Chains A and B, each alone.
Chain A
Amino acid sequence: AQTVTQSQPEMSVQEAETVTLSCTYDTSESDYYLFWYKQPPSRQMILVIRQEAYKQQNATENRFSVNFQKAAKSFSLKISDSQLGDAAMYFCAYRSLETSGSRLTFGEGTQLTVNP
């Protein structure tokens, strides 16, 4: 079974600065999807960014980008020019393309605080 690990329970960043959230995963599969989700306080979880494993280019969505290291099984999220609205719980997730249908496996989460 695949596992996803987020080793940073909490992170903080100053407004306008850059922060990187870490995620590692364990799998024997070669093709899969990786996701970062954001859960703001008392609001629903939304997708931040996704990456398909066979694509070598790192995904980017505006101020959010990933550093995908397939061999190292690492999938970190970089938030540039942090804003107060980025404060949230962030979850890394894995989806197999070989087994398990559409289910996602999630990490433990990282609580991000943005300081003004």
Chain B
Amino acid sequence: DVKVTQSSRYLVKRTGEKVFLECVQDMDHENMFWYRQDPGLGLRLIYFSYDVKMKEKGDIPEGYSVSREKKERFSLILESASTNQTSMYLCASTQLWLGSSGELFFGEGSRLTVL
């Protein structure tokens, strides 16, 4: 089974702090994603990566950056956390091949509170 592991389930940070959310997958997937989940808004894509050192902006990249130095690890960085970044953050991965559906495999989520 694919396992996607997010380093922290719950975090509480102060406004202005730098925050790192780590995600590791064990299935050699090339594609990794960071989504943000808010009530009534569903999941919104922040950033994604198709390969090591490659990244692309999703729908809401402002205030976030990412790092993918190794294939299995995809980090989300909040350079200066703000209260409106209080949310649930979900990491996901997938591997595409001809005929595949591109099903995403998710981590358990990281609930971030910024005070």
Contacts and interface: CB of A to CB of B under 8 A. Distances in A.
Given A44-B106, A101-B50, 20 more contacts: A4-B42, A6-B42, A33-B101, A33-B102, A35-B103, A37-B106, A44-B108, A46-B106, A50-B101, A91-B43, A95-B102, A102-B94, A102-B102, A102-B104, A103-B45, A104-B102, A104-B104, A106-B35, A106-B43, A108-B40
Per CB-CB distance, the 4 closest pairs between chain A and chain B, nearest first, are A106-B43, A45-B106, A108-B42, A44-B108
Contact of A101 (B4, B31, B40, B109): B31
B48 interface: yes
B112 interface: no
B66 interface: no
Interface residues of B, number: 25
Interface residues of A, number: 25
Contacts of B4: 44
A50 B109 CA distance: 22
A22 B107 CA distance: 26
Contacts, number: 57
Nearest to A33: B101
A47 B33 CA distance: 16
Contacts of B43: 91, 93, 106
Contacts of B58: 103
A52 interface: yes
A9 B40 contact: yes
Contacts of B45: 103, 105
A47 B44 CA distance: 17
A3 to B, nearest CB: 11
Interface centre among A35, A104, A108 (most CB of B within 10 A): A104
Given A44-B106, A103-B33, A103-B58, A108 B101 contact: no
